[in-house]
Amino acid sequence: MTLIRHITQALNGQVRQNSIYPDQPVDPQTAASVILLLGSHKNNQTNRSEPCLIFNKRSSKVRQPGDLCFPGGSITPRLDAHLSKLFSMPFTPLGRWKYWTQWQDTHPRAARCLSLFWATGLRESFEEMRLNPLGVKFLGPLPPQSLVMFRRVIYPMVAWVRRQKRFFPNWEVEKIIYVPLREMLDAANYRRYRLSLPARENGKSPAAGPDYPCFYFLDGSRPEILWGATYRIATLFMEYVFGFKSPAVETLPVVEGRLDSAYMTGYK
C-alpha cells in the first residue's frame, strides 16, 4: 500500500536525522510507551473506508477521564524485557520491519530500547482494547514526549492495524474513536483550548489555566477534544509524514474546558 510505504520511509528518514533515545538507561519509573494506531475505517456518511487514527477515550475510572489517548502505559521492566525478545523475532511485526536488521547492526542499544518500548505498547494495547499483537504492521518510532502534569516520558511507536475490525475495551477505556487523516490535515479543525482549573481550597472561583492548542472533532454529534501529549504526538506524526504543521495557537478560535478535582485521581 502506497500510504503505508510512505509513512514507513518518512518516519525512518526523520529518525536517522535525530537521535530519539537517551544515552543513559531508561528510567522504568517514568518511562511509558504508546502505539499511534492507524487503520482503515468505514465513514458512515460516505459508506467508504478511509485511513484513520485510532484513539482510546479514557474512562471515568482512570486519571484524565474523558481524554483521548493512544493505547499504552508504563514499562514493566522484567516482563517487557522478556516480551521484547518474543516480539522482535523474524515472524513478528518488528522483525519484519524493513529497517530492523539495520538498527540491530548499526544502533544495537537503540534497537534494544525500541524493542522494549514496542513490547510495552503491545502488552498495554492488548490489555486495554484487545489489539492483536501479531495483527499490526510496525511502521516506525517517534521522538519521546514529556507529560506536563505528570512525571512521565512517553515513547511512541507507529503501527497499522491490518485486519482487526473490532476492539474490546477494558475498564480503562470508555470507547474507541476513529479520526480520519483528512480531518487531521484540515487546519479549520484546530482550536485554542482554554481551561479553568479546580476551585481553590479557600473557596474562591476556579483559576484560569493557560491556553493549549487542540484538535476539535465531532464524533457523530458529540464534540471530542484532542490535546496535551497525545495532541503533540499526533501532530508531530502529521508533520513528519505529511509536512503538515498545525496553526499557531494564538490564531485559533477558543473552546472552553474545565478540569475538576477527579482529573488527577484514578488508578492509572
**CA angle 212–50–219, rounded 5-degree value:** 45
193 inside domain: no
User: Of all residues in the chain, what percent carry a pLDDT higher than 70?
Assistant: 91
- Is residue 39 within 8 A of residue 165, CB to CB? The reply is no
| Amino acid 206: pLDDT | 53
- Is residue 69 within 8 A of residue 230, CB to CB? The reply is yes
Which stretch of 21-25, 95-99, 127-131 has the lowest confidence by average pLDDT?
A: 21-25
**Averaged pLDDT for residues 229-243:** 96
User: Of all residues in the chain, what percent carry a pLDDT higher than 90?
Assistant: 71
Q: Is the pLDDT of residue 138 over 60?
A: yes
CA dihedral 226, 232, 135, 171 (to 10 degrees): -50
- Is residue 67 within 8 A of residue 29, CB to CB? The reply is no
**Averaged pLDDT for residues 228-237:** 96
pLDDT: which is higher, 259 or 125: 125
Q: Grid coordinates 500500500 are at which residue?
A: 1
**Residue 14's domain spans which residues?**
2-186
Q: Which of 176, 35, 211 is nearest to 114 (CA)?
A: 35
Q: Is the pLDDT of residue 174 over 60?
A: yes
| Amino acid 254: pLDDT | 95
Compute the distance between CA of residue 241 and CA of residue 202 in angstroms, rounded to an integer.
48
Residue 74, φ and ψ in degrees, nearest 5: -75, 155
Q: Which of 248, 246, 206, 204 is nearest to 226 (CA)?
A: 246
Q: Is the pLDDT of residue 137 over 80?
A: yes
140 inside domain: yes
Compute the distance between CA of residue 91 and CA of residue 82 in angstroms, rounded to an integer.
16
At 179-225, the pLDDT tens digits run: 999 999 999 999 999 988 766 555 555 556 679 999 999 987 889 99
- pTM equals 0.91
101 inside domain: yes
212 inside domain: no
Tell me the pLDDT of the chain averaged across its residues. Answer: 90
Measuring CA to CA, how many Å separate 13 from each of 5, 29, 99?
Answer: 12, 30, 11
Q: Is the pLDDT of residue 178 over 90?
A: yes
**Averaged pLDDT for residues 106-121:** 93
Compute the distance between CA of residue 227 and CA of residue 192 in angstroms, rounded to an integer.
10
The grid cell for 23 is 544515552
**CATH number of the domain residue 29 falls in:** 3.90.79.10
Q: What share of the chain is helix, strand, coil (3-state, %, to 5)?
A: 35, 30, 35
Domain count, the chain: 1
| Amino acid 180: pLDDT | 96
| Amino acid 46: pLDDT | 76
202 inside domain: no
172 inside domain: yes
Q: Grid coordinates 492548542 are at which residue?
A: 213
215 inside domain: no
Q: Is the pLDDT of residue 235 over 80?
A: yes
DSSP letter at 188?
G
- Is residue 226 within 8 A of residue 68, CB to CB? The reply is yes
Q: Is the pLDDT of residue 109 over 70?
A: yes
**Averaged pLDDT for residues 63-71:** 93
| Amino acid 20: pLDDT | 80
Compute the distance between CA of residue 77 and CA of residue 173 in angstroms, rounded to an integer.
24
